[in-house]
Amino acid sequence: MHHNTFPPIKANPRGFAELVKKQSKGTKVVILKPGDTLDP
C-alpha cells in the first residue's frame, strides 16, 4: 500500500499499525520507507 507519496493519500501508517495490533491477533504490519524491500 502506498501512503504519503502525494497529498490525496496522506495517511498515518503508525496509527494504522496500532489499530491492526488491537483488532487482529497474529497480523503484522510492516512500515517500509521508499526504496525499502521486504523478503518473505
Whether 22 and 16 have beta carbons less than 8 Å apart is answered as: no
> Any residues with CB less than 8 A from the CB of 29 and at least 6 apart, and which?
13, 16, 17, 20, 21
pTM score: 0.64
pLDDT of residue 27: 92
pLDDT of residue 18: 93
Each residue's pLDDT tens digit, 1-40: 677 778 888 888 899 999 999 998 889 999 988 889 998 7
User: What are the backbone angles phi and psi of residue 33, rounded to the nearest 5°?
Assistant: -90, 155
Residue that has been written with the C-alpha cell 500500500 in this structure: 1
